[in-house]
Amino acid sequence: MSLQTSPHPAQVAPASAPFLDVRDLRVHFPTEDGIVKSVDGVSFTLEKGSTLGIVGESGSGKSVTSLALLGLHKGTRAQVSGEIRLEGRDLVALPEHDMRALRGRTVSMIFQDPLSALHPYFTVGAQIAEAYQVHHRVSKKEARDRAVEMLKRVGIPQPDRRAKDYPHQFSGGMRQRAMIAMSLVCDPALLIADEPTTALDVTVQAQILDLIRDLQEEFGSAVILITHDLGVVADIADDILVMYGGRRIEYGSVRDVLTRPEHPYTWGLLESMPHIGGDVERRLNPIAGSPPSLIDLPSGCAFHPRCTFKGWVPHGLCAAERPELLAVAGTDRHIAACHLTAETKREIRGRRAAQ
């Protein structure tokens, strides 16, 4: 079952610098109506072998962040600034030609909808083989063998036969497996999965998540998982980044963030969905309103128009001043951006526990 590693294993970065270091990333799209600030100052780090979950609603900038990591905004009108340091190299400044050499090889992506990400006109095997051939000097046959081997690794039965099938002949779960096979064919050091299981049934979702975890253990890749499902993040990720309106509002280890969430938006996300073991008599506690427009973000804290607790902060500070990301006491790297003081939060928690 073990695969031979690619001829050029990714170099191990020195222990001091993180494997992936994103600093103050901004992606702005100029439009007729104004500048859409899809990503506005996002920073995070990721080590090899670990997983970061990026959580947020549609329009929170999670997918745009992932496209920036792949350098897919190059050649478009998007304005990208900040730093994306992958093993010390800055991907934002990298010319497209060099980015191409990395894309699919060092950084690769699993897209949300495998039916539109796979080409309907080519067989699945040919598409996977192509991804391998672009980065390796191998014969067609070797590439095809490699494709079959990858299909086998991701659990597709009769891989040598199925490699000759077209995407429409695969079921949804199998297509997603084929996508995973394609993204892993060059043993990428960084794997980005954009809502990889959203279109799938729970049973297949569980298979795919287990598979990503297994393959990560085997290849030691770093994984960024973009999702809106906190259950999926709890299941698979080490760190969690909660985004709202293109900005970070909470960031920390999964354990810290999910057991002691510090931002009212994270509270809302956790309380608005029913849980399989929850109390059915208890009413769901939805987040009021809808996500903000990225052209004209609310002043101060972007979440304040929807926040239940803005009344607890004196002098209308939430609307006036944007809260800074501050470290949460008692944790090593859990940060959150909220004006509520620790005492107020304690009081809110106490009241709600009493309810």
Binding residues (CB under 8 A) for another protein: these are 1, 57-58, 153-155, 157, 171-174, 177, 201-207, 209-211, 213-214, 228-236, 254-255, 258-259, 268-270, 272-278, 280, 283-288, 290-291
H helices of the chain, in order, are 62-69, 96-102, 114-117, 124-135, 140-153, 159-162, 172-184, 202-219, 230-236, 254-259, 264-272, 317-320, 342-354
Nearer residue to another protein within complex by CB, 73 or 177? 177
Nearest to 340 by CA among 285, 244, 261, 258: 261
As measured in angstroms, the least distance from the Cβ of 151 to another protein is: 10
Q: How far is the CB of 171 from another protein (least distance, A)?
A: 5
Instruction: For another protein, give the closer residue by CB, 59 or 71.
Output: 59
Min dist CB 155 to another protein, Å, is 3
Residues with Cβ within 8 Å of residue 348, at least 6 apart in sequence: 309, 312, 340
- Closer CB to another protein, 123 or 197, in the complex: 197
Name the minimum Å distance from CB 228 to another protein: 5
269-276's contacts with Cβ under 8 Å and 24+ in sequence apart are 269/55, 269/230, 269/242, 270/230, 273/230
Report the alpha-carbon distance of residue 224 to residue 227 in Å, rounded.
Answer: 10
Q: To the nearest whole angstrom, how small is the minimum distance from the Cβ of residue 204 to another protein?
A: 6
- Calpha distance 271→155 (Å, rounded): 36
CB 249 within 8 A of CB 337: yes
Give the three-state DSSP class for 313: coil
What is the closest distance, in whole angstroms, from the C-beta atom of residue 297 to another protein in the complex? 17
Closest by CA position to 211, among listed 236, 188, 229 = 236
- Minimum CB separation of residue 200 from another protein in Å reads 9
Q: Residue 65: how many CA atoms within 13 Å on its side-chain side?
A: 35
Residue 27 or 212 having the CB closest to another protein: 212
Shorter beta-carbon distance to another protein: residue 234 or 317: 234
Q: Are 186 and 132 in contact (CB under 8 A)?
A: yes
Q: Between vectors from CA 31 to CA 27 and to CA 33, what angle results, nearest 5°?
A: 120
CB nearer to another protein: pick between 119 and 275: 275
Which of 84, 307 has the CB closer to another protein? 307
